Chains A and B, each alone.
Chain A
Amino acid sequence: MSELKRYERPIINKQYSGFMNKFGTSPITTPKTEIDGIAVNHLVEQFGSPLFVMSERRIRENQRNAYRIFKTRYPKVQFAWSYKTNYLDAVCSVFHSENSWAEVVSEFEYDKARRLGIKGDNIIFNGPDKSREALVKAIRNKSKIHIDHFDELYLIIEITEQIQMKAEVAIRINMDVGVYPKWDRFGFNYENGEAWQAIKRIMANKNLKLVGLHTHIGTYMMSAEAYRIAATNMALLTRSIRDEYKHLLQYIDMGGGFASNNTLIGQYLPAEQVVPSLEQFADAISSGLFSLSFSAEDLPLLILETGRALVDDAGYLITSVLANKRLSGGKRALIIDAGVNILFTSFWYKHKISPAQECGVYQEEAAIYGPLCMNIDCVRESITLPSLKQGDKLIIEHVGAYDMTQWMQFITLRPNVVMVMEDKSTELIRKAETLEYIIERENLPAKFQKK
């Protein structure tokens, strides 16, 4: 007997007259039943719900495209995988196997990269917090230390004298590139001459070798032009160093910050229409760098710490409907089993969310709430969705960046993460947490312990 026709509860939709929204995206009707050819149902059966799914194929495609785009515009390009974006071993390993270095911002990330076998000189050590121990480690391994402030510079000078080793350093530079907010809390300022002061200090010290310059003008940048200005300034500085000290820098690190195709909350147009393409970012950066009057052989290496733009759309979150509700105002609400504790990015993105099974054609506006017993646990204020039953699956897309690093263990446990491999097999890359895992770190004072 063929399957029974699916029951759909009736919906009353208020009809609006007047202008149609000419920008409106078409509501989602086509369900997404598989990820990289693997059925969603199958994944849930095997690994449970909620479930993060990473696509190896997509990561590789993204990385290769990005490399192609930059490499065909500038002759020397190196990517460094930004660990904080997603530092699951499996994800990092895919990037490293595509010849990416590691860009880390803490000792923890540094050690994680070393554990994966990344050579010391292929690690870029960023961030305002580097402990003495971490710096010693980085200096010994010849990692590239990007100095954030003068106190760190002094500390490095002290360490190099102590351990009698040379350090390979670069300085992070902040500058006004005409975007708001202006990032001036990291590194040394370009306009007020602080950056040049730092360079002079480094050049005067025999234990420090200035190997590069670093800038990172912001995050989720919507303007390619800002990168042209930044790259031009970096080129000018590189040339000044060459002219002043007869010293050729090995690289210019333009950081990351390229926007991904996730639409921000409060953004009117969908991301696909307003976010500059990677080609535009690459054009801007290379044209800025070519204002260097260097011969082809002497051009510095361009390092990119792109994170979000390479991994965001390689991550999916499969979640199940726990319940349907009607709010006091008549608005429909869905409760799902994935909350903001594991989907941190829902605070700033309007993710693309699609049903993972066949559903009806009628759509209704709804709010999506997570399972936490907290008022902030709102995954989406408003979205148009077809009617869904308890147990139906939803796929939240573009969750590869930051979610799996900024998530927290709060009220519920963090779920499984699997990777769909290029050969269509699936691998569990991070096991769901268990009670034992959580309490293993805890210590109950003896007097509370039951005998």
Chain B
Amino acid sequence: MLKFFTDAVFLSYSQIFFSNRKWFGILIFLAVMVNPLIGISSLLGILITNLLAMLLKFDSEKIRSGFYGFNGMLFGAGVMFYFEPSFYLLGLTLIFIVITFFISAVIENFFAVTLNLPGLSIPFVITTYIFFVFLGKYDFIRFANLPLYHGPVNTAEGFILNYLQALSLIVLQPSAISGIIIALALLLFSRIAFQLSLLAFAINALAVNILIPDPSPNFIIISSFNSILTALALGGALIIPSKKNLLLVVLSIFMVVIFTGFFANVMNSVALPIIVLPFNFIVLATVYSLKFRKDHTELTLLYYKLQSPEENYYYHKNRRARFDKFKISYPELPVFGEWYISQGFDGEYTHKKDWRYAWDFVVVDEKESEYSSEGNRFEDYYCYKLPVISPLDGMISKVIDGIPDNDIGDINVEKNWGNTVIINHYGGLYSALSHLEKDTIKFKEGDYIKKGDIIGQCGNSGRSPYPHLHFQFQLSEKLGEKTFQHPFVHFISKSDGGLKLHLFEYPEKGMRIQNLETHKILKGAFDFYYGRKFSFACEFKDKKFIEEWEVKIDIYNNLFLENGSGDIAYFVQAGKVLYFSAYSGNKESALYFFYLSAMQVPFCYHEDLYWEDKYSPSELPKSALYYIPEIFLLYHDLIDVNARFNFAPREEDSEDFIIEGNIRLEGKSFAKIFSEEFRSKINIGGEGEITDYEFEINNKNKFNAKQIFNDEETK
């Protein structure tokens, strides 16, 4: 309860700077306390707002994150900033804090429902205006006239002072000391955020000089802090950071300056302060307009809960590398054994234009020849009359049969698809298998079939000069429908380097590919069905502990592993591959190390099988090393984390399988000196259980865990 309470208080402070760290909030709290009156008033604002929200049973997670508190805080601080304290003012403030809360609730809901936008600090602005207008009749409440700015302008010293002043004004503090604390907090929280604040300040100064004739110091300072907030929001908090964000930030600051001028003129006439109006206006307008683009690959809006800009960046990068390709259907290759792609996407013969996303399957021998002897008889072709199977469950929606094979080298352009089966896999996905052998199709229209059922045999009918299988995904049951780009859930390709596992990828021309064959021991070990429980005896850094996990499911049908202390690792079982998708929680738990070690595990075994994956630097064990490349993150991504997994050679007579992982963090260009290495090892016993696993950090710290089997489970 106390934790919830302090979280709710301090995270309210963090929210103002788009941070989600409690310590950050504590620093801001200290910065606000530089002027104790303002500090206490702001704390009052938070307390009352949160109390009210709790009393009225608003979403406790939102309360905890400081979502309601921060507008109350701003208002509390604002009152003491603009007005001289008195008891009457205090009473009035208490009432207005309540008003702030209700306006927050209204604005939040309205913005979320109608515009799908955050409310930012608009509630604070509205309440402040109401307060100002309301007080217009009361002459006994006097303006405090705290100076916005006191110092030289066009010197280096003035420049720094000005910057600090702007920072302190964000939390309505008149003293530059607050600014020092805030700048420090920003630097510690995020190198990107700190740089953005500096950049915003500099660009703002430039823009003001260019755009505003003879600007007053007050004007400069107001547009400065609006610019800084805008840069924080658009540079990395609400939009995933990238080089493009810099451009956006520069443009936005020019707009902020213009809108500060605009609001200054408008508000002056009604004697209201501008406060954070320009920031709110520009950020909301920019974010809103960005929602209506067709392509969201650049300047991607934040789609995950708020983290630091660095974390946002890595999360997004990792997600793109790992999940963009994920689909909800899990089709497998439509053949048994190893086949060869003789024509892939955008092929040189027929896979063009509307039909570009198709594959031609043939079988080749060691020398990559498709036939034995002369190749002038059907029987010479290895793939001739081989069974072709359904890639997924479905219903036969069209069967075309009765077209005889062409002689080798001839094509039938009249019935160019040849004998074809089109299968409806539900959910809009269809697959078409063409050039089948006449009279070999085993089903009729309307039959229900399972994944792996034999549909017919490979032949040479239609526009097929030599026997092959044409396979495509499409979106209707029409014969000759244009192709639809859809990957196979997984397949294995063979090359000199061994067998490589592919997940949600597209076979390419020249690949030798095959389906995965489930190995019951591996499947047994990694089949994390709902309710399965594990218990591990662990050792890390001279600590010994026991950790228990259970497989649970959330309301969106996402399966996850949860340990006793609430750490969570989400996973997907994509066909015959276990795939971890996210981890949140303590970075020294057994579950965390398992998440890193078992990021991707296929349920099949081949001696020389390997698979690769990408990690986000932010999910690796903490290291001071990452800070340096983070400084340059806005301009250039200097870190890549690549992982490679394989099966260790099996011990003679051992029934165990060992999965070895090598995760390497590597710097690019001048950051090459940064590298870290992590090794993982999972032992799978012959009974189909994970017996133990270990994770080694830079050849030093080693985590290891052994599964504890109780009698009930081993039976």
Within residues 86 to 137 of chain A, which ones have a CB less than 8 A from any CB in chain B? Answer: 99, 117, 119-121
Residue of chain A at shortest CB distance from B450? A295
- Of A65, A72, A117, A121, which contacts B386 at CB under 8 A? A72
Q: Is B382 at the interface (CB under 8 A from chain A)?
A: yes
Interface size class for chain B?
A: 20 to 34
- Of B335, B338, B454, which contacts A290 at CB under 8 A? B454
How many residues from A make CB contacts under 8 Å with B?
A: 27
Nearest chain A CB to B441 CB, angstrom units: 15
Nearest chain A CB to B602 CB, angstrom units: 15
Expressed in whole angstroms, the Cα–Cα distance for A77 and B389 within the complex equals 17
Interface of B, helix, strand, loop or mixed by DSSP: loop
Q: Is the CB–CB distance between A68 and B338 below 8 Å?
A: yes
Query: In the complex where A295-B450, A297-B518 touch, is A73 in contact with B366 (Cβ < 8 A)?
Result: no
Within residues 179 to 214 of chain A, which ones have a CB less than 8 A from any CB in chain B? Answer: none
Q: Is the CB–CB distance between B653 and A141 below 8 Å?
A: yes
- Of B387, B450, B515, B653, which contacts A73 at CB under 8 A? B387
Q: Is A283 at the interface (CB under 8 A from chain B)?
A: yes
- Of A71, A117, A142, which contacts B652 at CB under 8 A? A117
Q: Is the CB–CB distance between B385 and A295 below 8 Å?
A: no
Chain A residues contacting B382 (CB-CB under 8 Å) are: 68-69, 72
Query: In the complex where A72-B383, A295-B452 touch, is A120 in contact with B338 (Cβ < 8 A)?
Result: no
Expressed in whole angstroms, the Cα–Cα distance for A99 and B606 within the complex equals 10
A-contact bits for B451-472, CB 8 A (1 contact / 0 none): 1111000000000000000000
Nearest chain B CB to A296 CB, angstrom units: 3
- Of B336, B366, B386, B650, which contacts A61 at CB under 8 A? B366
Residue of chain B at shortest CB distance from A99? B607
Q: Is the CB–CB distance between B337 and A296 below 8 Å?
A: no
Within residues 629 to 662 of chain B, which ones have a CB less than 8 A from any CB in chain A? Answer: 650, 652-655
Expressed in whole angstroms, the Cα–Cα distance for A48 and B453 within the complex equals 56
Q: Is the CB–CB distance between A68 and B653 below 8 Å?
A: no
Chain B residues contacting A286 (CB-CB under 8 Å) are: 387
Chain A residues contacting B654 (CB-CB under 8 Å) are: 119
Expressed in whole angstroms, the Cα–Cα distance for A69 and B387 within the complex equals 11
A-contact bits for B311-343, CB 8 A (1 contact / 0 none): 000000000000000000000000111110000
Residue of chain A at shortest CB distance from B514? A71
Q: Is the CB–CB distance between B652 and A296 below 8 Å?
A: no
Chain A residues contacting B338 (CB-CB under 8 Å) are: 68, 71-72
Q: Is A76 at the interface (CB under 8 A from chain B)?
A: yes
Q: Is the CB–CB distance between B452 and A296 below 8 Å?
A: yes
Within residues 479 to 509 of chain B, which ones have a CB less than 8 A from any CB in chain A? Answer: none
Q: Is B363 at the interface (CB under 8 A from chain A)?
A: yes
Expressed in whole angstroms, the Cα–Cα distance for A297 and B523 within the complex equals 12
Nearest chain B CB to A102 CB, angstrom units: 13
Q: Is A74 at the interface (CB under 8 A from chain B)?
A: yes
Residue of chain B at shortest CB distance from A142? B655
Residue of chain A at shortest CB distance from B458? A72
Q: Is B410 at the interface (CB under 8 A from chain A)?
A: no
Expressed in whole angstroms, the Cα–Cα distance for A61 and B363 within the complex equals 15
Nearest chain B CB to A139 CB, angstrom units: 14
Nearest chain A CB to B684 CB, angstrom units: 15
Residue of chain B at shortest CB distance from A61? B366
A-contact bits for B271-305, CB 8 A (1 contact / 0 none): 00000000000000000000000000000000000
Q: Is the CB–CB distance between B336 and A73 below 8 Å?
A: yes
Q: Is B677 at the interface (CB under 8 A from chain A)?
A: no
Within residues 647 to 703 of chain B, which ones have a CB less than 8 A from any CB in chain A? Answer: 650, 652-655
Residue of chain B at shortest CB distance from A286? B387
Q: Is B157 at the interface (CB under 8 A from chain A)?
A: no
Chain A residues contacting B385 (CB-CB under 8 Å) are: 283
Chain A residues contacting B339 (CB-CB under 8 Å) are: 72
Expressed in whole angstroms, the Cα–Cα distance for A414 and B515 within the complex equals 47
Expressed in whole angstroms, the Cα–Cα distance for A120 and B655 within the complex equals 10
Q: Is the CB–CB distance between A65 and B452 below 8 Å?
A: no
Expressed in whole angstroms, the Cα–Cα distance for A68 and B515 within the complex equals 14
Expressed in whole angstroms, the Cα–Cα distance for A99 and B379 within the complex equals 27
Expressed in whole angstroms, the Cα–Cα distance for A72 and B457 within the complex equals 11
Q: Is A75 at the interface (CB under 8 A from chain B)?
A: yes
Q: Is B588 at the interface (CB under 8 A from chain A)?
A: no
Expressed in whole angstroms, the Cα–Cα distance for A68 and B494 within the complex equals 14
- Of A61, A74, A120, A297, which contacts B653 at CB under 8 A? A120
Expressed in whole angstroms, the Cα–Cα distance for A75 and B516 within the complex equals 10
Q: Is the CB–CB distance between A65 and B365 below 8 Å?
A: yes
Expressed in whole angstroms, the Cα–Cα distance for A61 and B366 within the complex equals 8
Residue of chain A at shortest CB distance from B363? A72
Residue of chain A at shortest CB distance from B383? A72
Q: Is the CB–CB distance between A75 and B452 below 8 Å?
A: yes
Within residues 30 to 55 of chain B, which ones have a CB less than 8 A from any CB in chain A? Answer: none
Q: Is B439 at the interface (CB under 8 A from chain A)?
A: no
Nearest chain A CB to B521 CB, angstrom units: 11
Q: Is A64 at the interface (CB under 8 A from chain B)?
A: yes
Q: Is the CB–CB distance between B336 and A74 below 8 Å?
A: yes
Q: Is B517 at the interface (CB under 8 A from chain A)?
A: yes
Nearest chain A CB to B386 CB, angstrom units: 5
Chain B residues contacting A72 (CB-CB under 8 Å) are: 335-339, 363, 382-383, 386-387
Expressed in whole angstroms, the Cα–Cα distance for A296 and B387 within the complex equals 14
Nearest chain B CB to A123 CB, angstrom units: 11
Chain A residues contacting B336 (CB-CB under 8 Å) are: 71-75
Nearest chain B CB to A251 CB, angstrom units: 12
Chain A residues contacting B454 (CB-CB under 8 Å) are: 290
Within residues 216 to 263 of chain A, which ones have a CB less than 8 A from any CB in chain B? Answer: none
Q: Is the CB–CB distance between A73 and B386 below 8 Å?
A: yes
Nearest chain B CB to A144 CB, angstrom units: 14
Query: In the complex where A72-B363, A73-B336, A75-B517 touch, is A121 in contact with B655 (Cβ < 8 A)?
Result: yes
Query: In the complex where A64-B366, A296-B450 touch, is A75 in contact with B386 (Cβ < 8 A)?
Result: no
Expressed in whole angstroms, the Cα–Cα distance for A286 and B450 within the complex equals 18
Nearest chain B CB to A450 CB, angstrom units: 48
B-contact bits for A59-70, CB 8 A (1 contact / 0 none): 001001100111
Residue of chain A at shortest CB distance from B454? A290
Q: Is the CB–CB distance between A119 and B652 below 8 Å?
A: yes
Nearest chain B CB to A392 CB, angstrom units: 32
Residue from A120, A279, A296 whose CB has the most chain B CB atoms within 10 Å: A296
Expressed in whole angstroms, the Cα–Cα distance for A174 and B515 within the complex equals 34
Expressed in whole angstroms, the Cα–Cα distance for A295 and B383 within the complex equals 24
Expressed in whole angstroms, the Cα–Cα distance for A75 and B339 within the complex equals 13
Nearest chain B CB to A69 CB, angstrom units: 8
Expressed in whole angstroms, the Cα–Cα distance for A370 and B433 within the complex equals 59
Nearest chain B CB to A117 CB, angstrom units: 6
Chain A residues contacting B389 (CB-CB under 8 Å) are: 296
Within residues 373 to 393 of chain B, which ones have a CB less than 8 A from any CB in chain A? Answer: 379, 382-383, 385-387, 389
Nearest chain B CB to A63 CB, angstrom units: 11
Within residues 587 to 619 of chain B, which ones have a CB less than 8 A from any CB in chain A? Answer: 607
Nearest chain B CB to A370 CB, angstrom units: 35
Within residues 328 to 364 of chain B, which ones have a CB less than 8 A from any CB in chain A? Answer: 335-339, 363
Query: In the complex where A71-B336, A71-B337, A117-B652 touch, is A296 in contact with B451 (Cβ < 8 A)?
Result: yes
Chain A residues contacting B387 (CB-CB under 8 Å) are: 72-73, 286
Nearest chain B CB to A206 CB, angstrom units: 14
Residue of chain B at shortest CB distance from A64? B366
Expressed in whole angstroms, the Cα–Cα distance for A64 and B494 within the complex equals 14
Q: Is the CB–CB distance between B365 and A68 below 8 Å?
A: yes
Query: In the complex where A68-B337, A68-B363, A117-B652 touch, is A75 in contact with B383 (Cβ < 8 A)?
Result: no
11 more contacts with CB within 8 A, not counting A71-B336, A71-B338, A72-B338, are A64-B366, A69-B382, A72-B363, A72-B383, A75-B336, A75-B515, A75-B517, A117-B652, A296-B389, A296-B450, A297-B518
Going nearest first, the 3 A-B pairs with the smallest beta carbon separation are A296-B452, A71-B337, A72-B337
20 A–B contacts, CB within 8 A, in A order: A64-B365, A69-B382, A72-B335, A72-B337, A72-B338, A72-B383, A72-B387, A73-B386, A75-B336, A75-B452, A119-B650, A119-B652, A119-B653, A121-B655, A142-B655, A279-B379, A286-B387, A296-B452, A296-B453, A297-B518
Interface residues of A (CB under 8 A from B): 61, 64-65, 68-77, 99, 117, 119-121, 141-142, 279, 283, 286, 290, 295-297
